[in-house]
């Protein structure tokens, strides 16, 4: 069974500023912050009609999921080679940082698409930290769940 991706679009509207360490998700801390704690020059959204980034944050709080595959695309080739980290924290204070370096899939020929097969749990405590977002760049992150929590399907 294939899964539909959750898609996040980041658009750096600044023509000159490169932003570092952009934190996505971390729903327990960013849900009610202005622009979700992201610099105001960066527009964060979901390109899926009728879906907002806030809805995705809310889902990570209530229906966490395991991620099996992450795709990165960008309007700039240099952007997709930027690394990202997954920071997982639990209520006991335990922390884990997973560095992810996307690679080109052997199954696709697109030069502006990279992927990582690193699995991780995406819940309200998880942060997705993009190392850089280049000026005047739009990046999309496709997150493919491998398992979604529900009352009948515990992680």
Q: What tokens does 47 get?
A: 């390109």
Confidence check: pLDDT of 118 > 60:
yes
What are φ and ψ of residue 59, in 5° steps?
Answer: -65, -40
Q: Is 111 exposed, middle or buried (0-12, 13-18, 19+ CB in 10 A)?
A: exposed
Out of 112-116, 140-144, 147-151, pick the least confident.
147-151
The residue that leads in pLDDT, 15 or 155, is 15
Residue 1 pLDDT level (bands cut at 50, 70, 90): very low
The predicted model scores a pTM of 0.87
Strand ranges for 14-137 from DSSP E: 19-25, 42-45, 65-74, 84-89, 95-100, 113-116, 120-122, 127-133
Residue 51 pLDDT level (bands cut at 50, 70, 90): very high
pLDDT at 114: 75
Angle, CA of 70, 76 and 82, to the nearest 5°: 50
Confidence check: pLDDT of 155 > 60:
no
In the block, residue with structure tokens 């509207």: 13
Residue 127 pLDDT level (bands cut at 50, 70, 90): very high
């Amino acid at each position: 069974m294939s899964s539909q991706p959750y898609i996040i679009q980041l658009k750096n509207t600044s023509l000159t500023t490169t932003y570092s360490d952009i934190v996505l998700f971390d729903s327990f801390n960013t849900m009610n912050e202005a622009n979700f704690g992201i610099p105001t020059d960066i527009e964060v959204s979901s390109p899926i009609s009728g879906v907002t980034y806030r809805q995705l944050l809310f889902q990570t709080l209530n229906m966490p999921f395991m991620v099996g595959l992450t795709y990165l695309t960008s309007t700039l080739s240099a952007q997709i080679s930027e690394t990202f980290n997954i920071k997982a924290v639990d209520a006991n204070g335990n922390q884990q940082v997973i560095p992810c370096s996307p690679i080109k899939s052997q199954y696709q020929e697109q030069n502006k698409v990279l992927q990582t097969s690193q699995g991780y749990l995406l819940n309200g405590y998880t942060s997705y930290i993009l190392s850089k977002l280049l000026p005047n760049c739009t990046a999309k992150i496709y997150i493919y769940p491998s398992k979604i929590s529900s009352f009948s399907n515990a992680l």
